[in-house]
Amino acid sequence: MGTLVMKFGGTSVGSAEAITQAADLVQEYAARWQKMVVVVSAMSGVTDALIRSARAAEMGDDTTYRAIIGDLRSRHHDVVGRLLTQGGERVQLLATVDRLIDELSSFCYSVHILGELTPRALDAISSLGERINARIFAAVLRRRGLRSEAVDATQLIITDDNFQNAAPLMEITRAKVSERLRPLLDDGVIPVVTGFIGATEQGVITTLGRGGSDYTAAILGDCVDAAEVWTWTDVDGVMTADPRLVPDARVIPTLSYSEVSELAYFGAKVLHPKTILPVVQRGIPLWVKNTFNPSCPGTCITGEPEQERGRIKAVTAIKGMSMVTVEGRGMLGVPGIAARTFSAVARQGASVLMISQASSEQSICFVIPTETVSRVVRAIEEEMARELARSDIDRVWSWDDVVIVTAVGAGLRNTPGVAARLFGALGQASINVIAIAQGSSECSISLVVEAKDAAGAVQQIHKEVILNGG
Ligand code: ADP
Ligand code: ASP
Ligand code: MG
């Protein structure tokens, strides 16, 4: 049967009851698969709390950071107390939890004294949720008689030093995984690996970006030649829309890698966008399943399908965006304006989520995260100072508080009338579309709407286009 990599998200390991449920699943499938690697996230809310504690310390608010640390200590103690009875490993595990929480305390104290929180320190702090939880989970498996060992991904996933959003160095990672994980797997031990984190070649802790445990599972799946990767979460699979926004959203039984990567990239939090790459390269099937409803088969993400081309399968939204427009009649025919605009954006390290074509050459329009917008507009103004002075460019301006709504389905670009159907649906609800763009792949179309219209736009497209047959 090969090797199965199973990843449990924050809610799936967020309480004693959830951990029990997740451990039941490990036990059940360990009996059926030859080898198994488990990846765990921090308990739900813990990474947020860790980041809040670091920020409070940076701001000089020691009351708040101490209170958060106190809460984290008691939450983890409580869970250990419920899961492990007196005797056994309980005392030892509580001591381990205390040691890691003390580490948090020292980090926050240093940040507090220095009044400075570097991305590197923030990664060290936010890694602690996973480091604690992997140890708890492995102990719970051992208590059930399974052979298991907690492994920090700092020993496995070697990354660059782009703290907060580090990229794995795959060759070294592959070597570390075979050195450290293979002997365990060959020996019938189930490694419980921390999601979300890695380390530089020098051993400094990094993180793979928020929601990065999915990525951990995919990287390990690639490195151990997994037969399948399963991510267990708190919904029945990848759905036609975020169920929190659209209560009648449905599970999508199968999706292609490119469809799900568009969905993830444009805000469907159910999978970290970078997860897709390692599994696609290997052609490893990826399943998204519900820990709390395991009999539901979930969503299977596989290579390229697809019989029903041109059908919209899902809709998603990504908030906190700004649309920047560079406009002026004198831009017409001036070579290099677009290239210079985008180099100015790139120099600010801003990622462009979408570029919209205007009907004429008189404007360039693109969408970036709002937190980068003032820097970006200033950089373009500096770059174009001469054109602005000559009025070849009239102005560089931004429309803040916009949302990108994206419809996803294979083959959309080649299907006539898709944009018309989307516009029609939004028109019925009097929602104004600010801009439109076709995705980089052929399976998405994105619309920009004002933030106040975002939920309405997603619900309307879901109702009128997806439920009516895509
Ligand atoms: P985990 O901690 O298990 O990784 P996340 O909270 O990161 O879980 O992701 C699961 C959540 O993603 C769901 O609870 C759901 O609210 C949200 N979500 C957003 N879009 C979708 C979608 N299209 N399908 C399923 N879930 C979605
Ligand atoms: N715990 C991390 C986060 O909250 C990683 C994850 O949950 O995937 O972002
Ligand atoms: Mg997640």
- Model confidence over 206-221: pLDDT tens digits? 999 999 999 999 999 9
CA–CA distances in Å: residue 127 to residues 168, 207, 259:
16, 7, 30
Domain count, the chain: 2
The ligand 1 atom nearest the CA atom of 233: 3
Neighbours of ion ligand 3 (CB under 5 A): 9, 211
For residue 270, being part of any structural domain is answered with no
Long-range contacts: 143-149, Cβ < 8 Å, 24+?
Answer: 143/83, 143/84, 143/88, 143/89, 144/23, 144/27, 146/26, 146/27, 146/30, 146/190, 147/187, 147/188, 147/189, 147/190, 148/38, 148/189, 148/190, 148/191, 148/192, 149/184, 149/189, 149/190, 149/191, 149/192
Domain end (from 191, 210, 234): 234
Shared-domain flag, residues 72 and 191:
yes
pLDDT of residue 331: 81
- Model confidence over 444-463: pLDDT tens digits? 999 999 999 999 999 999 99
For residue 132, being part of any structural domain is answered with yes
For residue 335, being part of any structural domain is answered with yes
Indicate if ligand 1 lies below 6 Å from the C-beta of 47: no
Shared-domain flag, residues 225 and 346:
no
Residues forming beta bridges with residue 192, ordered by sequence position = 38, 150
Shared-domain flag, residues 221 and 343:
no
Domain residue limits at 157: 3-234
Of 13, 46, 47, 207, the one to substitute when testing ligand 2's pocket (max ligand atoms within 8 A of C-beta) is 47
Of 235, 289, 293, 301, the one to substitute when testing ligand 1's pocket (max ligand atoms within 8 A of C-beta) is 235
| pLDDT band at 163; cut points 50, 70, 90 | very high
If you measure from the C-alpha of residue 272 to the centroid of ligand 3, how many angstroms do you get, rounded to a whole number? 6
Average pLDDT value for residue range 54-76: 98
Give the full edge-to-edge strand order of the sheet including 228-233.
148-151, 190-194, 35-40, 3-8, 228-233, 286-290, 299-302, 254-256
Domain end (from 207, 234, 261): 234
For residue 10, being part of any structural domain is answered with yes
| pLDDT band at 81; cut points 50, 70, 90 | very high
| pLDDT band at 417; cut points 50, 70, 90 | confident
| pLDDT band at 109; cut points 50, 70, 90 | very high
Indicate if ligand 1 lies below 6 Å from the C-beta of 11: yes
pLDDT of residue 410: 85
| pLDDT band at 79; cut points 50, 70, 90 | very high
For residues 131 and 207, the answer to whether their CB atoms sit within 8 Å is no
Shared-domain flag, residues 221 and 321:
no
- Model confidence over 323-372: pLDDT tens digits? 999 998 888 777 788 899 999 999 998 989 999 866 566 889 999 999 99
The rounded mean pLDDT for the chain is 94
Shared-domain flag, residues 183 and 36:
yes
Average pLDDT value for residue range 167-187: 97
For residue 281, being part of any structural domain is answered with no
| pLDDT band at 63; cut points 50, 70, 90 | very high
For residue 257, being part of any structural domain is answered with no
How far is the C-alpha of 6 from the C-alpha of 2, rounded, in Å?
Answer: 13
Shared-domain flag, residues 330 and 193:
no
- Model confidence over 190-205: pLDDT tens digits? 999 999 999 999 999 9
> Is pLDDT of 306 > 70?
no
Residue with the smallest CA separation from ligand 1 atom 9 is 270
For residue 427, being part of any structural domain is answered with yes
Q: Of the candidates 255, 258, 23, which has an alpha carbon nearest to the alpha carbon of residue 136?
A: 23
Indicate if ligand 1 lies below 6 Å from the C-beta of 422: no
Q: What CATH number does the domain containing 408 carry? A: 3.30.2130.10
CA angle 199, 205, 207 (to 5 degrees): 85
Shared-domain flag, residues 339 and 230:
no
pLDDT of residue 152: 98
Where does 63-189 show beta strands of DSSP type E?
Answer: 148-151
Q: What CATH number does the domain containing 13 carry? A: 3.40.1160.10
For residue 337, being part of any structural domain is answered with yes
pLDDT of residue 6: 98
> Is pLDDT of 307 > 70?
no
Of 242, 289, 293, 403, the one to substitute when testing ligand 1's pocket (max ligand atoms within 8 A of C-beta) is 242
Shared-domain flag, residues 458 and 328:
yes
- Model confidence over 118-155: pLDDT tens digits? 999 999 999 999 999 999 999 999 999 999 999 999 99
Indicate if ligand 1 lies below 6 Å from the C-beta of 130: no
- Model confidence over 260-294: pLDDT tens digits? 999 999 999 999 999 999 998 899 999 999 999 99
Report which bound ligand comes closest to the CA of 22. 1
Report which bound ligand comes closest to the CA of 39. 2
Report which bound ligand comes closest to the CA of 216. 2
Domain end (from 217, 234, 251): 234
pLDDT of residue 448: 94
pTM for the model stands at: 0.94
Span of 43-47, 210-214, 356-360, 427-431 with lowest mean pLDDT: 356-360
Shared-domain flag, residues 213 and 326:
no
Q: Which residues have C-beta atoms less than 6 Å from ligand 2?
A: 9-10, 41-42, 47, 129, 195-196, 210-213
Give the full edge-to-edge strand order of the sheet including 444-450.
354-356, 363-369, 314-327, 395-408, 444-450, 435-438
DSSP string over 307-373: SSTT---EEEEEEEEEEEEEE-GGGTT-TTHHHHHHHHHHHTTPPP-EEE--SSTTEEEEEEEGGGH
